[in-house]
Structure 1
Amino acid sequence: MTRSGGDEVLRFDLDGEERAISLKISQLTQRMVAGLPDRALDLLELAAHVYAVDSSVSRGGPALQKMGAQWHRRFHIDMAVRDLAFWQHADVSAALEELLAFLSGDKFTFTFGLRQHSDAERNRFFKFGNQSAWSADRVLMFSGGLDSYAGALEETVSQGLSVALVSHASSTKIERVQKDLLAALRAKLNPDLFRHVPVQMQMVGGVKEGTHRSRSFLFATLGAVTAFGFGQNRVSFHENGVVSLNLPPVGNVQGTRATRTTHPKSLLLMSQFLGLVFEKGMRVDNPFFWHTKKEVVEKVAQLEMVEQIRHTRSCADIHNQTKLHPHCGRCSQCVDRRFSVLAAGLETQDPKEAYAVDLLDGVRKSVVDKETALSYVRAAQQYVHATPDMLQQRYPEILQAVESFNEPAPTALSRIAGLLKRHGQSVISVMDHTLDHQAADAFPANSLPWMYGEEKRKAAFSAGADVPTISLQTSDQTYTIEFDDERQTATVADVVDIPKGANFNLLRELATEHLCAAGQGLDPLDYPTIAAVDLSDRLDLASDEALRQRVNRARNTLGRLLEEAGLNAEQGKELVENILGQGYRLNPTLVSVRIKSATR
């Protein structure tokens, strides 16, 4: 007999306004829940609170305006707990706050008080299934995507293990996908190898912030609680390593926009924190980290379930999915999926008709859609040729992953370089194969092959092309740019005047991001860029080409003016930096910014 354990709605006050989140975990047994320690129940409520407040406070909208000031938030959560002594330990608070800071980019602090509770409260978030002696060898997080599906196959078909699949369906469409995939597994394999543990989670009153960076903390908590109930101390997220690293191939994927769910540092911090909550330890890992997406797709084929590829879902645009087009074809997840399936030679198992915009033939209308596809290919080109040292210089954040592995840093960095190179080769092989059979200009205008061909021609024949630059060495010479917003003029190094106009407007937009990064105390190489599409919008320019021309003119003007003042002309041109595939910024190794006070 299935019966609910009680009120699954968790209510809280947010700056005096009552808010609520509903949370229900199904298919666990009363015996499993009765064995959970008080601190595990506290953790479940705490993770739900964190997710709820994250979803209830906007970061400032998708325009990324004042990114550093608005996107990075501060929260203080005051909640009552059952195991007060545990939560008041300094090492517990430190581990929790470090984990949430890395996952979300926000600052979380906590105050805990003692909670009076009854035994009945233990069951409030659980909908019990039939009592059963079934037990799991492994606990996996299951989304219905290609990677998590391949993970379920790997653990059952290859390893012969019984797995509990914990999943949350953000829509009824995804819930149906998950159920159908599991039904296909049960039909072909031993049905006793699987137990589905669905989780229902919904903000009462709607969501104000859709990035959901803290959601992975809640998911890891749900997985850990399930694992503990089955007597296990390991939870696995299966995701290919390129996505887990999440190096920014698109310029506006910065800071809090880039998910860190399966980043190696996230998993390490989760393991360390959850190891404090559960006395026997709790490991959170990603067995697919050293796999590319192509290799994951190939694994599904090797395990003889290739016909199910078409039934998995990878698209980020869930709400606009249709039966005819379950994938939008525009988002980075769709681009990644389609490239990988084509590289693996399994396109018949993932028909192009399933994509509203086909990877190769489809016309990409918006600037964002164009940049998403092109930046993905640009990044792949870089990965093919990048040495470990080049990766470390171009993407200094990669060291956060390197330091999270239990092996020498040079070894980890070399292995990551190999992973990215294999990924890059698979992407470029698709582009080369495509253009070997049909010229780029034979494709529809604004399709990916057409844009790729246009970009290659510009790079080869345009003397005025915007050549990407990045200065990786610090300089003894720095240039202070002082902005007078009232007069709309700027002064470089106290001697070079930039009058009101196009060059001032460009420098002033870049200075906003520079000041935000400086105010956060970021390392200079971590200063964010502004994506071409965003900078074009801010400067009211019609296209990326117009922006490139604007930047080139500004660089040349700065170089000339500095040379006339007896300063370094080449460094003048480098004051505005373009990082390939990411965007534009003031060179943080050469520039400091000052805003002139109106009262001076």
Structure 2
Amino acid sequence: MKQHLIECGVTAPSSEEAMVMNVHGPAKNVNLRIDYISRTMLSNLPDLLIDLLEVAAYVYCADQRLARGSDQLSKFGESWRRSLRFKIPVRDLAVWQDPDVQEALIDTLGFLSDDSYSFEFRQAETPVQPKELYFHDLIDPADEHDEVALFSGGVDSFAGAVTDLVANNRSLTLVGHYSSTKVRSVQEGLIAELTRRGFDRRLSYIPVWVSNEGVRAREYTQRTRSFLFACLGLVVARMSGKDRFSFYENGVVSINLPLAGDVVGGRATRTTHPKVLRGLEQLFSLIQDREIRIQTPLQWLTKKEVTAKIASAGMADLLDQTVSCTRPRKWTESQKHCGVCSQCIDRRFGVLAAGLADQEPSDRYMQDLLLDDRSSGDDLRMALAYVSLFKKIAATSKERFLVDFPEIVSAVGHFPGLTASEAGDRLYDLFQRHARSVEDVISSAVREHGTALYRNELPAASLLAACYNRGHVEISPPSNYDTDAKAFMDRLSVQTLEFAFDDEQERVHFQGGLTLEGANFKIVAALIEAFRSAKKRQTEVPFLPAPDLADQLSISEQSMRQQLRRLREAIESLNVTMGIPMDQDTFIQTRERAGYRLNPLCREIAVADILAVSPIAHTP
């Protein structure tokens, strides 16, 4: 893993290996500009949120400047992941030095981008950058709107916006990030159309420019863009007096299963993955000392269903003005979709499945999804992998869903209000619906172009010809796939969570070698006697009120809740090792106003019984 030191807010690096980044001054090389904020909103902006904007801008721009290297699977560990060490000046140092804040920041960014992060914050020297210098084109106070939402100019964000405006009769403040003027023009064009159609009093648009200056991006995966986007949403929401904002993105993309065996980890983007969103909520709640919620109203919809909402709102004619492609340097005036990236492939399948092809002619794409030659590079392989993935999903039973697609497991415990089992069922239904829409598009195209296919008139490397000629589409799985899947299925028979409490060694052992100790052990120790006593008497296991649990641990209630979160994260690996979908209540249950208890469905067994079959693997 390559090490990188990023020194922020300085004019010169401390060593040859360090990279300097600055949002202001003579060494400025990061742009941060926010337009169309009202003077009233600006007066509501504390220094802490200016810190957050700068931190997010540094993280995002460093992500683009530091190449990951080879994306070959054989070099994934050594070249793809990076170790990023930031030194950043801040105005509110006490907040950023809080261990819980740093842990939430590091953990969320790590899962989001598959990189390793560390942060050293220092007190910003006075005078610091005045916040007014980040804000341009200030406007007079505007009407307060119902919601704040993030707006990219793609299908999903536009569908969410028009659904809220038309179907839900809400007013919106849309926050749009751009690093290219081409992207901003797309967003502004859509806003202008909505304004022309009479939504001007219920709609405002705040464009935010964050980009590197004088340095061309070397890394285009943009794994941390959603962190930046979410920080912008929080800042505008708080300036508007709100504790929530919305991400408009469909649920299939949120989970974003890897298309093929060598597209794993951070290469399958986790932009609005439920675990990322919960991590962001936790980080934002900590730094704001109040509960912050991130809403995802399109979570349980497929791309087809989201696209259809644009037509339902009476905006189908604006569909071809939305842009999903992430390669703006390739855009032309008439073609703003490359047609070969995963975003373009997913979009075109959604448009065709929704029956809206007449609203978006195929020549809007540089390469037609189904009919054009894809022999260049990995273009055909990417498209075939997409079809193969959803063909496999369509043939997967609910019982095998988590087995065949273990990436789903990391999401099931992060849907508020749903148990892991309920979330798993809903995700299975969601992916089945999307798989059927992909199949319908292919089947319809085969019927339409059957004669050309029979006569071999289509390019052999077109997606439709490749599907038709092969009779079936599949991407070779990893060599150990069958063995791993069988082992996973064998473990599914063990549905009860078993643990052993080792009082002498102060450890809690689980099947598969997972061991809790330290602060995690102390939480279990505080709850174990009530669990044992109730089991022995065959009565209900009582809950221990939060203040009492915190007193027993000799920590504050907030610290106790943070430690409980860490314990739950520490046992998440049991999702796979034991084949049990884990939610936050699987081991330690929480009940509002009642407190905490060990889940009565768990089973305590002897230490020797677990150690006899499990290798030892410690967790803090």
TM over 0.5: yes
Letter in 2 for 1:422: R
Once the two structures are superposed, the pairs formed by residues 165-176 of structure 1 within 5 Å of their partners are 165-176=174-185
Of 439, 443, 455, which aligns to 1:432? 443
Indicate yes or no: 2:233 matched with 1:227: no
Q: Which moved more, 1:387-396 or 1:241-250?
A: 387-396
Aligned with residue 382 of structure 1, among 364, 386, 392? 392
* Counterpart for residue 258 of structure 2: 248
Q: Kindly report which structure 2 residues correspond to 1:418-497, keeping only aligned pairs within 5 A, or say none.
A: 418-439=429-450, 440-442=453-455, 443-456=458-471, 470-471=482-483, 472-474=485-487
Task: Give the Cα separation in 1 of the matches to 2:131 and 2:235.
Answer: 13
1:504 alignment partner in structure 2: none
Who is 1:346 aligned against?
Answer: 356
1:73–1:107 Cα contact (<8 Å) kept: yes
CA distance in 2, matches of 1:458, 1:340: 20
3-state SS in 2 of match to 1:124: helix
C-alpha spacing 1:410/1:175, structure 2 compared with 1 (3 Å):
same
Partner of 1:77: 86
Change (3 A) 1:37 1:57: same
2:381 aligned partner: 371
1:559 counterpart residue number: none
Q: Deviations over 1:29-88 (max 9, x none)?
A: 233223223221211111122223222322114456621122211122222222222222
Give TM-score scaled by structure 2 length: 0.71
Give the TM-score normalised by the residue count of structure 1. 0.73
Residues in 1 aligned to 2:460 and 2:147: alpha-carbon distance in whole angstroms: 49
1:278 aligns with 2:288: yes
Q: Which amino acid aligns with 2:423?
A: A
Deviations 1:150-209 (A, max 9, x none): 111011112222211111223222222111111111111321111110011221232232
Instruction: After TM superposition, give the deviation of residue 467 of structure 1 in Å.
Output: 11
Q: Aligned partner of 2:251: which letter?
A: G
Match 2:163 to one of 134, 154, 158: 154
Cα distance in 2 for residues equivalent to 1:39 and 1:271: 16
CA distance in 1, matches of 2:407, 2:30: 34
Percent of residue pairs identical = 37
* Aligned partner (choices 89, 95, 101) of residue 86 of structure 1: 95
Q: Following TM superposition, where does structure 1 have runs of at least 4 consecutive aligned residues deviating by more than 6 angstroms?
A: 464-468, 522-527
1:425 Cα deviation from its structure 2 partner: 0.4
Instruction: Give, in angstroms, the shift of residue 321 of structure 1.
Output: 1.5
For 1:37 and 1:176, the matched residues in 2 are separated by 30
How far is the alpha carbon of 1:470 from its aligned partner?
A: 2.4
Count residues in correspondence. Answer: 469
1:249–1:526: structure 2 CA closer, same or farther, 3 Å change rule? farther
- Match of residue 290 from structure 1: 300
Q: Secondary structure at the match of 2:486?
A: coil
Judging changes above 3 Å, is the alpha-carbon distance between structure 1 residues 209 and 358 closer, same or farther for their aligned structure 2 residues? closer
Letter in 2 for 1:363: D
1:115, distance to aligned residue in structure 2 (A):
2.4
**Relative to structure 1, is the Cα distance of residues 430 and 468 closer, same or farther in structure 2, using a 3 angstrom cutoff?**
farther
Give the residue type in structure 2 aligned to 1:125.
Y
Residue 401 of structure 1 aligns with which residue?
411
SS at match of 1:66: helix
Report the residue type matching 1:307 in the other structure: D
User: Corresponding residue for 1:410?
Assistant: 421
Work out whether 1:237 is the aligned partner of 2:250: no
Shift of 1:390: 1.7
3-state SS of paired residue (1:189): helix
- 1:445 positional shift: 1.9
Listed one character per residue, the Cα deviations across residues 337-370 of structure 1 (whole Å, up to 9, x for unaligned) are 1111111111100111112221222111224111
1:367–1:16 distance in 2 versus 1, CA, 3 Å:
closer
Identify the range of structure 1 (14-23 vs 412-421) with the bigger mean alpha-carbon deviation.
14-23
Equivalent residue in structure 1 for 2:58, among 46, 49, 55: 49
Match of 2:222 in 1: 212
- What is the deviation of 1:380? 1.5
Work out the CA distance in 1 between the residues paired with 2:89 and 2:454.
Answer: 64
8 Å contact kept, 1:30–1:128 = no
Kept in 2: contact 1:361–1:447 (CA 8 A): yes
2:132 aligned with 1:123, yes or no?
Answer: yes
C-alpha contact (below 8 Å) 2:149/2:172 kept by paired residues: yes
Deviation for aligned residue 1:262: 0.7
Q: Which amino acid aligns with 1:470?
A: D
Pairwise CA distance, 1:91 = 1.2
Structure 1 position 288, deviation (Å): 0.7
Contact 1:25 1:197 in 2 (8 A): yes
Match of 1:136 in 2: 145
Q: How far apart in 2 are the matches of 1:467 and 1:18?
A: 43
Amino acid at match of 2:320: R
How large is the Cα RMSD of the aligned pairs? Answer: 2.7
Partner of 2:522: none
- The residue identity in structure 2 corresponding to 1:427 is V
CA contact 2:246–2:297 (8 Å) conserved in 1: yes
2:113 counterpart of 1:104: yes
Q: How does 1:196-207 map to 2 (within 5 A)?
A: 196-206=205-215, 207=217
CA distance in 2, matches of 1:453, 1:398: 30
Higher relative contact order (CA 8 A, sep 6+): 1
Shift of the 441–447 alpha-carbon distance from structure 1 to 2, 3 Å rule, reads farther
Once the 2 structures are TM-superposed, how far is the Cα of residue 466 of structure 1 from its aligned partner? 12
Name the CA distance, whole Å, in 1 between partners of 2:271 and 2:395.
28
Structure 2: which 5+ runs fail to align? 1-7, 22-28, 489-571, 578-620
Tell me: CA distance 1:39–1:170, structure 2 relative to 1, closer, same or farther (3 Å): closer
The aligned counterpart of 2:30 is: 21
The one-character-per-residue Cα deviations of 1:92-143 (angstroms, maximum 9, x if unpaired) are 1111111111111111112222224358723232224222142222111111
User: Which ranges in structure 1 are unaligned for 5 or more consecutive residues?
Assistant: 1-8, 476-521, 528-600
Contact between 1:137 and 1:232, CA under 8 Å: does it hold in 2? Answer: no
Matched, 1:179 2:188: yes
Contact 1:82 1:117 in 2 (8 A): no
For structure 1, which segment, 146-155 or 377-386, has the greater mean C-alpha deviation from structure 2 after superposition? 377-386
Secondary structure (helix, strand or coil) at the match of 2:130 reads helix
* Conserved 8 A contact 1:250-1:371: no
Q: Letter of the 1:445 partner, please give it.
A: A
Task: Tell me if structure 1 keeps the 8 A contact 2:9–2:88.
Answer: no
Q: CA deviation at 1:312?
A: 0.8
Change (3 A) 1:32 1:10: farther
Question: Which one-letter code corresponds to 2:274 in the other structure?
Answer: P
Amino acid in the other structure paired with 1:178: Q
Q: Which is worse superposed, 351-360 or 260-269?
A: 351-360
Say if 1:11 and 1:31 are closer, same or farther in 2 by CA, change over 3 A: farther
Shift of 1:454: 2.2
Partner amino acid for 1:449? L
Residue 456 of structure 1 deviates from its aligned partner by 1.5
Spell out, residue by residue over 1:463-495, the C-alpha distance to the aligned partner (whole angstroms, 9 max, x if none): x999995221339xxxxxxxxxxxxxxxxxxxx
Q: 1:120 to 1:70 in 2, by over 3 A?
A: closer
Q: Do the aligned partners of 1:397 and 1:526 also contact (CA within 8 Å) in 2? A: no
Rounded Cα–Cα distance in structure 2 between residues aligned with 1:458 and 1:71:
28
Aligned to 1:483: none
